[in-house]
Structure 1
């Protein structure tokens, strides 16, 4: 498992037009957030803070139950940390998703399900701003929103909370017969 250290550094790579995280030991991580969605502070070199590490570990714990490889879990968690720290505010685009029954009150780090007319997918809540939340696709398979638009793994979208359902992981029950 990838463990955060105080030697990690955020920086913007102008050549590749991407926010990067230098993990040391000649390892670099390219953040999936498009440049147009980055706040101004993303262009300054800065350390991976204790708060970043805490958020990273919280996200890792939240996504532990997902059926993803360890590298994919690390990718999702690092992109989630970057989004929580460097993503610009955006307007909700809830029209892609169906309204749900119940009262979902997501918290940062919660896994939720969003359903479009083409199917449903798991998302990680990055930031709840009251009635809407910034969410990141947590499924490796793309999530079709329309016949021509889809979300890719780690893409972000802001959605009204009334479109969300709490994610329920349906694990098979393994019983041992004793006696």
Structure 2
């Protein structure tokens, strides 16, 4: 069932799980992967799921449903995580050095999927915030190894320069959301 925003939705910091969550009413709660250290100070207090948040969420669900074959639950999971990241994560500096330069010019847009390639592997990432020279992307693959000891899990974010974003091969448009 595709969840659509309601007036009683609210962002909260879940002390038990120590992550940002969205209270969806009717005793339902969605837990994001975002821990306190990565959140803006306002995210520590209960906050409404605003009209701006709802518009971003709905637009993303609509875009993803047209480009990917996902279940409603996967769409909701991706869209809620992207909405949380877009509005409630602290700003990041680009960390492009982890990825190879793409030799194709791309247009970065919120909700668009790209490939990031390092010397070891390639991962799928979705733009959740696009700037003039860099984009904040959310990792869509299960894991993104950055170094021997550092990796990003699915739905974690990293900011990269646009020249690191490569078009996805046509066969890679399948994303396995957890």
Number of aligned positions between the proteins? 170
Alignment-derived partner of residue 89 in structure 2:
87
Structure 1 spans left out of the alignment, 5+ residues: 172-179
- Give the CA deviation at 1:4: 1.4
Aligned-partner Cα distance in 1 for 2:57–2:91:
20
Alignment-derived partner of residue 35 in structure 1:
36
Alignment-derived partner of residue 100 in structure 1:
102
Deviations 1:91-140 (A, max 9, x none): 1111111001122230122111111122212111111121111100122x
Structure 2 spans left out of the alignment, 5+ residues: 173-178
Counterparts of 1:103-122 in structure 2 under 5 Å? 103-122=105-124
Structure 1 length normalisation: TM-score?
0.86
Aligned-partner Cα distance in 1 for 2:114–2:4:
26
Structure 2 length normalisation: TM-score?
0.86
Alignment-derived partner of residue 176 in structure 2:
none
- Give the CA deviation at 1:88: 0.6
Aligned-residue RMSD, C-alpha: 1.8
Instruction: Select 1:133's aligned residue among 119, 132, 135.
Output: 135
Aligned-partner Cα distance in 1 for 2:72–2:115:
21
Aligned-partner Cα distance in 1 for 2:26–2:32:
18
Alignment-derived partner of residue 10 in structure 2:
9
Q: Which has more radius of gyration?
A: 1
Change (3 A) 1:69 1:143: farther
